[in-house]
Structure 1
């Protein structure tokens, strides 16, 4: 079924809002309290669950990208026309920024609120594990490349479409388990942009890396897939 651009962009806005609010919200609101015990595993699962639930809820309308790097990778892979990319990216970035704004309003709604880095992505002194810019760059490129490989494989014609959203969500959770200590995990320029608007200035200063690395990684993953496993299919995630 063909959907209007308005419905597609709305689905991408809502899906990216949900991913940013749910994933970053778990870090800003819940992980800030050690007694709740969600920690690294809980935040990782939260990001994965937002993708699983969002893919099944909004994927039938827009394909469920919720990530400019994913949309870009699908264009490189030949799954989506380049003419559709700007609309997807704008909807995703606006959705992430709106989610960050709502999250900031909630998180600052208590006396003496200390929002810290506000789930922003960083490297060097702003990396959770103090990893260098080079280490962070390589991590984001590799993680995004494999994210695209999983997305393209899970949504291939030969795959079971019913489980695509689950596979992609679990992949994102695994990515977070590995890379939160390195960059606080981006692999998604929209997710990085939203929190950076409300975080300390360093987040905006380092934001460029969390656009460049995921886009490079997405292109790399798409090219590897086209060379090794390509087949024609629409850009539907769920």
Structure 2
């Protein structure tokens, strides 16, 4: 089905192929390790730079690891954006999201189980970190503003993903894993003090469910998924099909 220049499909035939299920499992594993890394030692509300760099580098490594297996979405908002842009099928998007949320809950639950009773999971004065503090939060009364920030910065991440996967953009022009990881670093530097900077429904859903802190979950999900729908509509007329600057006629090779 072709709508507004985009090709859409249910993808039912994919369900009978091994690469499809390999991709679903890849999304589960990728999101599982992402949450494992964030909750154990990467995301730190007390160290902005370490938390931002750790999260971005973790994403870069995971994208490089499973890109050829599943496309390395590792983010339900990215999967919905790719669906909205006609790049993946409806069934692939749905199963990817189920795998991502499953990996998020599994990774969060494992961290809680393994750290239960340790100094990591206690509120202490000597540097111990309570598990609940690793759940992204917005200031009470500031939820609408926080939702707007999540919308804007999730949109920036999705814009970069769409640009990286644009067929008009030569692969040799840059490293996709590194560029997406750097967007995550910048986003976390800006948002950790305000919203925790998840820009990823899987990043907030697993820890929120496992810890029982779901009161603000809706604000995160609305902001992030709204960006999934709106960003492709902005990207297409703005950047679709436009080659990188150095590939335009009259650019590069010393020409002005």
TM-score, length basis structure 2: 0.78
Bigger-Rg structure (1/2):
2
Which residue is equivalent to 2:250?
none
Structure 2 residue aligned with 1:15, among 25, 30, 53?
30
Alpha carbons of structure 1 residues 103 and 116: separation in structure 2 relative to 1, 3 Å: closer
2:105 is the counterpart of 1:90: no
- Say which structure, 1 or 2, has more relative contact order (CA 8 Å, 6+ apart): 1
8 Å CA contact retained: 2:63, 2:72: yes
8 Å CA contact retained: 1:26, 1:42: no
Which residue is equivalent to 1:154?
164
8 Å CA contact retained: 1:118, 1:195: no
Q: Secondary structure at the match of 1:183?
A: coil
8 Å CA contact retained: 1:121, 1:207: no
CA distance in 1 between counterparts of 2:112 and 2:84 reads: 35
Which residue is equivalent to 1:212?
222
Q: What is the Cα deviation at residue 83 of structure 1? A: 2.6
Structure 1 residue aligned with 2:63, among 46, 55, 58?
55
Gaps of 5+ in 2: 1-16, 124-129, 243-256
CA distance in 2 between counterparts of 1:27 and 1:52 reads: 13
Q: What is the Cα deviation at residue 185 of structure 1? A: 1.2
8 Å CA contact retained: 1:124, 1:132: yes
Q: Secondary structure at the match of 1:124?
A: coil
Q: Secondary structure at the match of 2:135?
A: coil
8 Å CA contact retained: 1:186, 1:192: yes
Alpha carbons of structure 1 residues 67 and 230: separation in structure 2 relative to 1, 3 Å: same
8 Å CA contact retained: 1:118, 1:198: no
CA distance in 2 between counterparts of 1:13 and 1:150 reads: 22
TM-score, length basis structure 1: 0.84
Q: What is the Cα deviation at residue 3 of structure 1? A: 5.0
Q: Name whichever of 154-163 and 76-85 sits farther off.
A: 154-163
Which residue is equivalent to 2:122?
113
CA distance in 2 between counterparts of 1:54 and 1:226 reads: 27
TM-align CA RMSD:
2.2
Gaps of 5+ in 1: 126-130, 233-238
How many residue pairs match? The answer is 217
